[in-house]
Structure 1
């Protein structure tokens, strides 16, 4: 209830202006009946209300209705009206020149120029004070002149307080808008990072399974006439490969659908599924060897997925580009790192033709999304990746991943 009443004057500013104008006109007209004889008893009623003072104060009060739009002009008009009342033989005081003080507050509050906000009220107050000496010089410090000085000071103080409060609220509003924009930018950044993560997952899934499907289909077509039984077995494996691809695609794309958030999804792959991954490549005719050095230790979920996807992508590149029949996967566990190496011997069906094709294709792939995606995955979990030809032939991808999640600045500060 209190908050609503505090907002009422701002919502009904015109009503407030009309009430102030009427009140000031009534006070100025009543003050025209008063006179101070200087006997220390204060002003007393000695004459009837002046219609001239009423007309002048009404003019000043009407001018106040435009104080927000034309604060300088309103201050000039109200100050002149106060001087005219003095010229008619009435003492200038807080009552007879009240409209001028309201105009001083208005120009101090609404003016955008700080110099104007301070200088104009001082000039208007000085003009009223000087005009008060035209007919009544003695005594110097009368009640009316004291109220004039007090009115200028009070108007300036109220204007300064109102301007400070307005600037403070504007700063709060700007800070709130900045915070809102920052939250929106952070949300967009998170969405972009999530899209990039899902794009990497889709790339790895599609590249892996399409490479296997292509190899199995080619082998089945080659064996169809001479060895139909083995061709049928390869076609069965092809159906299993495409089914696995569909399941992984459904699990990944399902993350984008809120309606399917309760549906059971495939578990996130990791090194626990490494044997199944190697078996799927061996079915295409690729000979694989796996060596593990050190004591296997669990990885963080992100590093575990990264290790799996890097091995998957590296073997997919071997299948697509190397023209080789053999590859080696090495896992080396140290105290803080897991080093993964995937290499091939560079041999194949046609040594010269295969090596030439591999050189050109591997160079283009190193600039493509395969190696870029693997490197980004490694960096995202605090590791790094190297890829290149081996001196004795073939190609090798080496990755070093931390066994523990990388420490963030927040964690370091808290520790």
Structure 2
């Protein structure tokens, strides 16, 4: 299937403008000769010069300055031979515009004015010349006007190109941010559920001989975690496909899922208590999703590294902000405050992307604490 392309002189074949100009210049030059009673000047050389001035425009794109110089030379010869005034100036107008729009500024303007001087001098040598200083001013004003129009067109084209480049850069930046967001979601989901599956499967293997009745509980937790990770990954990766643009069939990450997360951790062997400070209220979707992921990642880290312990999740709803604090009573690594692990680094990046603050480190008296504060602006 062919792609529609709007008409533009930039996409027009070089000969697409040369042939019409050549035709118009030849026909109307003959007409001008009759009107000026100079039919005796119409000969093969005259027609050749008129045609050549149009043909020189064939190279207006590849060599704009040289094309302008060639047109000036041909038209200077044309008028020096005392041929009639006529539409041969069409080639010069096109060459001046093109040199200004597509050539280097200094060479274009220099060639334009120098060529005008030479052309005007050729007109002064004619026997029928009636040009004076007024004529010279008119010629240079005309050249300046034509090249000025070329500069305006070039400036507009450059602005359009810069705007298009800026839009393309914005699109690339947004795509990069979306990829980073999806990567964080995938990391959080996999880290949480795979950790639960890994630990519970280890428990099942350990108890299969001594306490077979508890293996069922562990396998049930593994099944539930595997089911949930498949659902969440399907939702996340569905954003990449977005075949029909339909809304997700499952809820996106939000604090509304906190009770389910706590229940899952309790089943896995990590008792979690949730405390709410202030009046619970809706928060922006980005903050809502990030807050849940911070809690999920923190509880996952506690479950994997802190040993037998309990955890407390505290949500603080304050004017203009939401704070999330996760405390545990387990083993807090002495160097965890540096946040060099990929999990802590990911959490920090997620919070800072929403202009929030993040801290993580050992608690006084033992255990570990993760704190994230998000600005909410008071609106959901």
1:18 shift after superposition:
4.0
Q: Deviations over 1:330-353 (max 9, x none)?
A: 223323322221122234xxxxxx
Matches within 5 A, 1:305-324: 305-324=289-308
The structure-2 alpha-carbon separation of the partners of 1:151 and 1:60, relative to structure 1 and needing over 3 Å to count, comes to farther
The structure-2 alpha-carbon separation of the partners of 1:121 and 1:101, relative to structure 1 and needing over 3 Å to count, comes to farther
1:170 shift after superposition:
3.1
1:60 shift after superposition:
3.4
Cα distance in 1 for partners of 2:329, 2:147 equals 79
Q: For residue 285 of structure 1, what is the aligned residue in structure 2? A: 269
SS of 1:333's partner is strand
Cα distance in 1 for partners of 2:152, 2:279 equals 62
Q: For residue 234 of structure 1, what is the aligned residue in structure 2? A: 218
Pair 1:14 & 2:19 matched: yes
CA contact 1:339–1:401 (8 Å) conserved in 2: yes
1:267 shift after superposition:
0.6
CA contact 1:29–1:54 (8 Å) conserved in 2: no
Q: For residue 102 of structure 2, what is the aligned residue in structure 1? A: none
Pair 1:80 & 2:80 matched: yes
Q: For residue 396 of structure 1, what is the aligned residue in structure 2? A: 369
| TM-score for both structures, normalised by structure 2 | 0.78
Q: Deviations over 1:332-387 (max 9, x none)?
A: 3323322221122234xxxxxxx7xx457x479x3232112211222233321101
Q: For residue 112 of structure 2, what is the aligned residue in structure 1? A: 117
Matches within 5 A, 1:57-96: 58-67=44-53, 68=56, 69=67, 70-82=70-82, 96=84
Q: Deviations over 1:235-277 (max 9, x none)?
A: 1121111111111111211222223643752112322222221
Pair 1:211 & 2:184 matched: no
1:183 shift after superposition:
2.1
Matches within 5 A, 1:164-313: 164-259=148-243, 261-262=245-246, 265-313=249-297
* Residue number among 376, 380, 390 corresponding to 2:353 in the alignment: 380
The structure-2 alpha-carbon separation of the partners of 1:270 and 1:131, relative to structure 1 and needing over 3 Å to count, comes to closer
1:316 shift after superposition:
0.6
Q: CA RMSD in A?
A: 3.5
Larger radius of gyration: 1
The structure-2 alpha-carbon separation of the partners of 1:101 and 1:238, relative to structure 1 and needing over 3 Å to count, comes to closer
| TM-score for both structures, normalised by structure 1 | 0.72
The structure-2 alpha-carbon separation of the partners of 1:12 and 1:322, relative to structure 1 and needing over 3 Å to count, comes to same
Cα distance in 2 for partners of 1:193, 1:103 equals 51
The structure-2 alpha-carbon separation of the partners of 1:252 and 1:405, relative to structure 1 and needing over 3 Å to count, comes to farther
Pair 1:146 & 2:130 matched: yes
